[in-house]
Amino acid sequence: MSSFGQTASLPHALGVRSKTGSGAWVTTREAFWIALEALRTHKLRSFLTLLGVVIATATLIVVMSVINGMNLYIADHIANLGANVFIVSKYQWAQGYEAWLKARRRNQPIRVEEFEFLKENLSGYKNIGAAASMWSDDNSTRYQGHVLYNAEISGDTPSMIDIGNQKVESGRYITDSDYQHESMVCFIGHDIVDEFFPSVEPIGKEILVNGLPFRVVGVAEKIGSTFGQSEDNFVQIPLTTYRKYFAPRLSLDVNVQAYDAQQMLALEDEARALLRARRHVPYREADNFGINASQTIMDLWDRLMGSIFALTIGIVAVFMVVGGIVIMNIMLASVTERTHEIGIRKSLGARRRDIMMQFVIESVVMACAGGGIGVLLALIVSEIVDHFWTSTVPLSAVLVGLTLSSAVGLFFGIYPANQAAKLDPIEALHTEN
């Protein structure tokens, strides 16, 4: 008898039923220990046998972890426009290139007059605000000989602090009085503070924004970076001041906040109807503006990640099939090695299903061992990826990996188990041990 069956006691190995347990339980238990002994005894063969399942399981879990981590990252840093907020702007986000070309010829900027129109006529909103910004390498912020380039300079209405995710750390935000009087005041991010005021209080200091003096009235809480791009390098001024000095014909993003998610759809429809009516857009023509929400970004991201995940599934399937075929070949070799043992078991009363169950269980245990190693490998790789990028292992990924590896062992173990169960006991006994 080969090493596959040497660990079991003779009565159990020969299929004799236990007095303290059912035959199925004894068969399952003995098959489990026989499979583990086979893995322990033939370490190199076991490693090569399980390599395909290990790689497939680890790849699947790592990809699912990276996608899950990216989903959380996108939701927190990019698609997080604020609670129940949608934005009316010149373009619809996340559209194809051809659609964008058509929109570029058709769409018109959102003007201040249209913002005031929506503010007066849109009903039931919680907050409404507007912002316009400019990104340019020529943007400069100066203070006493220190210069900071590439800052985002934006004009905002006072209500924007209640709509977005920015919070006031010190001082105050832009007020209605600042807005109405076109005041030369600004609200700054932490990059500006770190560069100009590392050890002094910035409130009340005067900085030059593109050559114009602005008094600092407030500092925002630190946000951090997104894809390596700082979110704290900004200067916000009253929208009226921005319009007067920087962009007389500015293009706005109008932010509308609903009280809850259910109200958002109704508000979006109402805003669309109001703006189409004001712009006299014919019934059959598409909008010449865009209405965007966090879900717009997430839908685009989900489509992109769906394509990546589909490609991953194809790769995983190839590895799983290869691993399953290797397991099947090893189990067929095991059947050949243990033909004499099978003949003895059958001559002592072991039924066909007992033989089949033992070999199926051994195949599943081998595949599960590969799946378990793959899970451990995936956890290590995901931790490394999370250190440099982002990766969060969901419990569902681990369960899917283990379930898939078990299914592979079950599927590819049926044929060898059936071959073993079909052996004639007389012919099997004549086989050399």
Q: What is the pLDDT of residue 119?
A: 92
Is the same domain home to 226 and 144? yes
SS3 letters for 321-353?
Answer: HHHHHHHHHHHHHHHHHCHHHHHHHHHCCCCHH
85 in a domain, yes or no?
no
Q: What is the pLDDT of residue 276?
A: 92
Is the same domain home to 157 and 258? yes
pTM listed for this prediction = 0.62
Is the same domain home to 304 and 377? yes
Structure-derived torsion over alpha carbons of residues 333, 334, 339, 343, reported in degrees to the nearest 10: -150
**CA–CA dist 31, 365 (Å, integer):** 9
Distances (CA, A) of 370 to 118, 318, 323, 329: 61, 15, 9, 16
Q: Counting beta carbons within 10 angstroms of the beta carbon of residue 220, is it exposed (0 to 12), middle (13 to 18) or buried (19 or more)?
A: buried
Instruction: Show which of 259, 288, 317 is a domain's final residue.
Output: 288
Number of domains in the chain: 2
Is the same domain home to 336 and 419? yes
φ/ψ (deg, to 5) at 357: -60, -40
Is the same domain home to 226 and 278? yes
Element holding 256 (H helix, E strand):
strand 253-257
Is the same domain home to 279 and 304? no
Instruction: Show which of 267, 288, 309 is a domain's final residue.
Output: 288
Distances (CA, A) of 430 to 1, 32, 86, 343: 14, 27, 79, 8
**CA–CA dist 170, 175 (Å, integer):** 15
**CA–CA dist 236, 31 (Å, integer):** 71
Is the same domain home to 402 and 265? no
362 in a domain, yes or no?
yes
Is the same domain home to 56 and 112? no
- Write the CB contacts of 248 (distance below 8 Å, at least 6 apart in sequence): none
222 in a domain, yes or no?
yes
**CA–CA dist 126, 137 (Å, integer):** 36
Distances (CA, A) of 342 to 42, 113, 430: 21, 88, 11
Q: Please, are residues 334 and 327 in contact by the beta-carbon 8 Å criterion?
A: no
First to last CA, the chain: 6
Please identify every stretch of the chain with a pLDDT value under 70, giving residue numbers as ranges: 1-24, 26-27, 31, 35, 38-39, 42, 75-83, 94, 136-137, 226-228, 294, 296-298, 350, 424-433
385 in a domain, yes or no?
yes
Is the same domain home to 60 and 140? no
Is the same domain home to 128 and 277? yes
Is the same domain home to 15 and 35? yes
Q: Which domain, by its residues, includes 358?
A: 10-75+300-429
49 in a domain, yes or no?
yes
Q: What is the pLDDT of residue 77?
A: 57
Instruction: Tell me the three state secondary structure of residue 106.
Output: helix
**CA–CA dist 378, 386 (Å, integer):** 12
Among 300, 297, 298, 278, which residue's Cα sits nearest to residue 289? Answer: 278
Q: What is the pLDDT of residue 120?
A: 92
Instruction: Show which of 244, 266, 288 is a domain's final residue.
Output: 288
Q: What is the pLDDT of residue 376?
A: 92
**CA–CA dist 221, 219 (Å, integer):** 7
Is the same domain home to 22 and 119? no
